[in-house]
A and B are shown apart, each in its own frame.
Chain A
Amino acid sequence: MNSDNEYRSELRIGNPLGFHVRPVQRFAELAQAFKSEITVEIDDRQASGKSVMGLMSLGGRYGARMSIKIKGEDARQAMDIIRYMVEEDFFVEDDIQPGSRPRRHIERLRNFASCFESDIRILLDGREIDPTSEEAAESLDFPPTEDMDFKVEGSDAPQASKVLQKLLDYRFYVEDVMNATSG
């Protein structure tokens, strides 16, 4: 990996509540999985992408444009993950319609996995499953079971493992809305 990698991207904050506590927390958690230096700029204010407080102080509103600069050996992977997260509204807008996209968690896993060079396998019931396979789509129930794990081998395995662990912690960032809201 080239340590001089630098990536820049201009993204828009698309979730109506803006870059608020939960989006910021999710952003920082994933950013912290990478070695690269990650800088976020909104309206001439700058903060480290790994600092929750720094990101909160940016005051990113709905529709604001964020410039992201990532520099370091895993900059490409970090940018891919971050871009995906921002474009998907920090995964906070998913749960509006229960059951509307039952395969959303598979899609999310595949998109996460595709950001890395490492070889990634799902470990489930003693099997090793390729996340892009049809078998993965058939084996992964929603909500996802507790006892799944990942096998990650390759140049960016540490970063990929951390990011995938977050995906597990958040149950693929897909929530059964009937659990979480009422009225």
Chain B
Amino acid sequence: MKGWRVMDIRQGIPVSTGITIGEVFLLEAEGVRIPLHFIPKKDVDRETARLEKAFENALAELKNLADDLSAKAGRKIAEIFFAHVGMLADESFRGEFFGRISDKLYTAEFAVARTMRHWRSIFQKDGFMAPRVTDLDDLEKRLLRHLLGQKREELSNLKSEVVLVSHDLSPSQIATVDAGKVKGFATDAGGPTSHTGIIAAALGIPAVVGLGTITNEVTGGDTIIVDGSQGIVVVEPDKETRRRYSQKRKAAMKSDQVLLRELKDLPSETKDGHHISLMANIESPREIGKALKHGADGIGLYRTEFLFVGSDSIPSCDDHYRAYMDAVKSLEGRPLVIRTLDLGADKFNSHQPALKEHNPFLGLRSLRYCLKNPEVFEEQLRAILRASASGKLSVMFPLVGGVEELKAANAILAEVKVQMKRDGEEYDSQMPVGTMIELPSAVMGADALARNCDFFSIGTNDLIQYALAVDRGNEHVADMYRPEHPAVLRMISMTVDSAKRANIPVSLCGEMASAVIYTVLLIGLGITSFSLAPPQIIPEVKKIIRSINMSDARDLARAVSSAEDADHARDLLTEANEKIMKAAGIPSL
């Protein structure tokens, strides 16, 4: 199909920030041909010696690689290879390879392939270890290469600058990369914590993973844009898009410091004076300093479960209180929104070990867990109330499914207040209580919820996942995770409408808040407060807010909301954003 190509825009998972435009270097998933499978008994010794030699060479090579990388990117990054050394040096693991030669009369190559296949299946059975299959593939290729005397594609000897596109990148492929030549990564597979991301970020190379089928869409030599900040990849961009991104890249390179210095003390409001509050997400009070430095108005999401899981026992009310007071002190009167425990699904601790649930994301997690364990919940609520006497606190309940759960949580809160009053403890009796809108059922029941709380906070990560039934960590469906999907936009809009009827504010946390392409759209949909992460993004968002009129934002939201599907919505969004930004004199989004 070369010759007539249409620009193709894809959404993946951003793992290393920055923008790059370059030529595709497609790394094929090379199948290695195993020449012979079995040997006569008399050859066992010879085959064993061949495999020993391959192990020896592979280990020596890995140690060199680890030392080199250690010097280049630090011991921590190189540790992946020290781990590979550890794997190959593992006596019982090694024994399995040699056992297959002596007992089953396999060739060394076939023994390697079969042993690795066995371990791959062990790792794959457990979602937790599945990403490490890459390490096995890497070791397998390394051993086979030494056995077969095959030369590897020399990524380290590239003649020109390229963007590396592959199904997945093994740690050694990334490590041998010449950071001067490889300008970006785009992969089919991978999640937020993959090696690709860790190493790419350490080397400062933009990377997007989880693109699904990007390897099928490109040919070596294509032009590709990798936007590692937004998780967007554009294949064969048209002239206009290319120009837009190269400007954006230049703008991004102009240091964030400049933007920060210009904007830090200016209010976050539209040209026509609508205030949009910009808060930050934190997991620990020590992150507050950084948030304030970047101009955060306060903390819009304090994820308290990290306090819970970091401790060896169930944190007492005092433990919670100490952490909250640290936060209150650092905030010096600015608002702090505390989300109650959001354990379960992918977050566990020793007192709530992973339950055996077939589908943990539809299981006993978050508020559901708290309502079943009121003794844990009460300790936290008491600490929040106690801290409310000293600062501007709000509390919000995550994963509320319907009004009955909200009422149950409110009842426990009321009960704790009664106890505190009896004990003569002070608290803010007017402390606002919020509901997180993260489930489609909460959107549908938002009118009733709004009558029973003081504010809404839309958690887009879960809302999108549940609305579209897509796990974006799953490479097979990751490209279906679309924040701009009309269903998602409709849900945000419905939530805002319900909130308006009850006259309560709506904020939005989750990654959608931090992706600047959605900023104007979300404001147009009626969001008046964002909670963002990382805080470095705040100046950029503020700059956009300060350059628009509310009426423009509403027009844009109306236009985008009319789309039939996510692709259409994305096109409309890109077009409308561009128009507004051009008028505002901002190069591009």
Contact = CB atoms under 8 A, between A and B. Distances in A.
B375 interface: no
Contacts of A28: 86, 90
A183 B201 contact: yes
B123 A51 contact: no
Given A14-B309, A97-B286, A48 B92 contact: yes
A18 B309 CA distance: 12
A52 B82 CA distance: 11
A63 B348 contact: yes
B80 A180 contact: no
A14 B126 contact: no
30 contacts: A12-B312, A12-B350, A22-B83, A24-B83, A24-B86, A25-B83, A51-B92, A51-B93, A52-B83, A52-B86, A52-B93, A53-B90, A53-B92, A53-B93, A54-B90, A54-B92, A56-B123, A59-B126, A60-B128, A61-B354, A63-B309, A63-B349, A63-B352, A63-B353, A64-B353, A175-B75, A180-B74, A180-B76, A182-B202, A183-B17
Nearest to A20: B132
A29 B347 CA distance: 28
Interface in A112-156: none
Interface in A13-51: 14, 16-18, 20-22, 24-25, 28-29, 48, 51
B348 A61 contact: yes
A95 interface: yes
Nearest to B311: A14
B122 interface: yes
Contact of B347 (A48, A51, A62, A170): A62
Contacts of A61: 128, 348, 354
A179 interface: yes
A9 interface: no
Residue in B76, B123, B204 with the greatest tally of chain A CB atoms within 10 Å? B76
Residue in A14, A29, A183 with the greatest tally of chain B CB atoms within 10 Å? A183
Contacts of B349: 12, 63
Residue in B17, B73, B83 with the greatest tally of chain A CB atoms within 10 Å? B83
A64 B354 contact: yes
A104 interface: no
A21 B75 contact: no
B217 to A, nearest CB: 27
Contacts of B172: none
A8 interface: no
Interface string A57-75: 1011111110000000000
Interface residues on A, range: 35 or more
A171 interface: yes
Contacts of A181: 201-202
B131 to A, nearest CB: 9
A52 B310 contact: no
Nearest to B80: A21
B87 A57 contact: no
B79 interface: yes
A60 B172 CA distance: 24
B193 interface: yes
A59 B310 CA distance: 19
A53 B87 contact: yes
B20 interface: no
Interface string B555-581: 000000000000000000000000000
A48 to B, nearest CB: 7
A12 B65 CA distance: 33
B123 A179 contact: no
Contact of A175 (B76, B83, B129, B193): B76
Nearest to A59: B126
Contact of A17 (B17, B73, B86, B193): B193
Which 3 residue pairs are nearest across A and B when measured between Cβ atoms? A63-B348, A59-B126, A25-B83
A183 B79 CA distance: 20
Contacts of B265: none
A28 B87 CA distance: 10
A59 B128 contact: yes
Given A21-B132, A52-B93, A53-B92, A179 B83 contact: no
B16 A183 contact: yes
Contacts of B128: 18, 59-61
A182 B204 contact: yes
Residue in B77, B87, B202 with the greatest tally of chain A CB atoms within 10 Å? B87
B91 interface: yes
A171 B76 CA distance: 11
A23 B126 CA distance: 18
Given A51-B90, A51-B91, A54-B92, A22 B79 contact: yes
Contacts of A62: 309, 347-348
Contacts of B201: 181-183
Interface in A158-179: 170-171, 175-176, 179
A82 to B, nearest CB: 16
Given A180-B74, A181-B201, A63 B350 contact: yes
B86 A25 contact: yes
Contacts of B132: 20-21, 56
Contacts of B87: 52-53, 56
B438 interface: no
Given A25-B86, A97-B286, A180-B202, A14 B310 contact: yes
B310 A65 contact: no
Given A51-B90, A97-B286, A181-B202, 9 more contacts: A24-B86, A52-B83, A53-B93, A53-B119, A65-B350, A95-B76, A175-B74, A182-B201, A183-B201
B368 to A, nearest CB: 17
A18 B286 CA distance: 22
Contacts of B91: 51
A136 B284 CA distance: 32
Contacts of A60: 128
A143 B91 CA distance: 34
Contacts of A20: 132
Residue in A29, A59, A97 with the greatest tally of chain B CB atoms within 10 Å? A59
Contacts of B204: 182-183
Nearest to B229: A183
A29 B202 CA distance: 25
Contacts of A12: 312, 349-350
A37 to B, nearest CB: 13
Contacts of B126: 59
Given A62-B309, A63-B354, A97-B286, A180 B79 contact: no
A20 B310 CA distance: 17
Contacts of A16: 309
